[in-house]
Amino acid sequence: MESVIRNRAELEHVQSARLVNMVNRVYQSVPFYRQALDASGVRPESITGIADLTKLPFTTKADLRDNYPFGLFAVDMKQVVRIHASSGTTGRPTVVGYTKDDIEIWAELAARALTYAGVGSDDVIQVAYGYGLFTGGLGMHYGAERIGASVIPISGGNTAKQVQLMQDFGSTVLACTPSYALYIAETLEQMGIDPAVLKLRVGIFGAEPWTEEMRRQIEARLHLKAIDIYGLSEIMGPGVACECTCQDGLHLYEDHFICEIIDPETGEQLPDGEPGELVITTVTKQALPLVRYRTGDITKLTAEPCSCGLIFRRMSKVMGRTDDMLIIRGVNVFPSQIEAVLLSIEGIEPNYQLVVDRKGALDDAELWVEVPSTIALDEVRRLESLSKRIDQAIQSTLGLHLRIKLVEPQTIPRGAGKAQRVVDKRSLYTTSKEG
């Protein structure tokens, strides 16, 4: 069992000791890190605590791919007891390994996530995450067994059977992706099964970004409390962070993962409250320790105390990916932020397109918003006040003024069901900026 950390000071003490140990370990046993540290002129002994974290270089997904499959492993294969891998949709898969102790810690953290989500030994957990190379299924499985719950390792798919077991075995917890949860809800409706007759009470949903609106829908349609869990195989798998029953941000398990938010452009560390890219240093992992791994996930952190009692900082729901980010007049903008702003404005649906152009030396950004087809608007001033409300909400969220253009419904092109959210005409003339 792990020792109890009572406050932030104790946490930082533990983090510092673990970081020093980890940096020395990777310097000794991973040639990639030895070279990376040498190249940045960092001696391992100059890292004496978490205050020195920013001296260390970043690790990226590309580094994992370049060292495919086991190049970044810090232990002998004899000590590796498990291998997982990403699907590798864009090239080689990302391969991760675990020692016996890594699996042990993973089970402990997944168990912690479940416990603070209100799941216990009386629960029957239907694990509908995929089992296999994907970390979701086995990660939840070990955590659920650790807390003594009854685990149904059904894996993903075969929805009719999912529903049948839910009825027959009285599953109280459903663990799967939020989109699959919605699919199960639809299936229940089609089969004419009232979710109220099921025993479901908690959902542990993750492995993909989802919105508060999706949460409301899932909760209403499956009659359960929907908890957001975060994880990525490079770091561990599910259980890197998870919401407690307060459902107000995901506690990052900072005793094992040192977390930072950085400006994805400059790499500068950002203070709590500011959105940026989540960067994680795994301080207890043995097989695949990663130094300042850039997750590509955009979120923000808060250190505000939480009523659940956990002292770990909370991250907001993932707002987007760095891959989707664009920079307008020096401000980082994510399509998901715009979507969230539009969702918050009554009477507007998030059907939009951001058109960015360059006029002279200045970026010119226009936000096209479709006027919903049945909104009651018979006066120009109502439309003007609608534009103004959108403009003000965007300004207060992004700190950026976008010209709002109201357009007729169905004007924004939708290719294969998915709308094109950003049209960046600037790339036509500039070659200096990548991607």
Pairing of strands 250-252, 237-243: antiparallel
Can you give 277-339 as a three-state secondary structure string?
A: EEEEEECCCCCCCCCCEEEEEEECEECCCCCCCCCCCEECCCCEEHHHCEEECCEEECHHHHH
Residue (316 or 411) nearer to other proteins, CB = 411
For the CB of residue 374, give the shortest distance to other proteins in the complex, in Å. Answer: 6
Residue (92 or 403) nearer to other proteins, CB = 403
Residues binding other proteins (CB under 8 A): 371-380, 383-384, 405-411
Neighbouring C-beta atoms of residue 60, cutoff 10 Å: 16
What length does the chain have? 435
For the CB of residue 371, give the shortest distance to other proteins in the complex, in Å. Answer: 4
Residue (7 or 373) nearer to other proteins, CB = 373
For the CB of residue 351, give the shortest distance to other proteins in the complex, in Å. Answer: 11
For the CB of residue 414, give the shortest distance to other proteins in the complex, in Å. Answer: 12
- CA-nearest of 215, 193, 211 to 203 is 215
Residue (236 or 354) nearer to other proteins, CB = 354
Q: Contact 320/362 with Cβ under 8 angstroms?
A: no
Instruction: Report cis status (omega within 30 of 0) of the bond before 93.
Output: no
For the CB of residue 381, give the shortest distance to other proteins in the complex, in Å. Answer: 9
Residue (359 or 381) nearer to other proteins, CB = 381
Q: Contact 19/49 with Cβ under 8 angstroms?
A: yes
Distance CA 419, CA 127 (A): 32
Residue (168 or 346) nearer to other proteins, CB = 346
Residue (92 or 388) nearer to other proteins, CB = 388
What would the DSSP string read from start to end of 39-70?
HTT--GGG--SGGGGGGSPPB-HHHHHHTTTT
Q: What is the CA radius of gyration of the chain?
A: 23
For the CB of residue 406, give the shortest distance to other proteins in the complex, in Å. Answer: 6
For the CB of residue 362, give the shortest distance to other proteins in the complex, in Å. Answer: 21
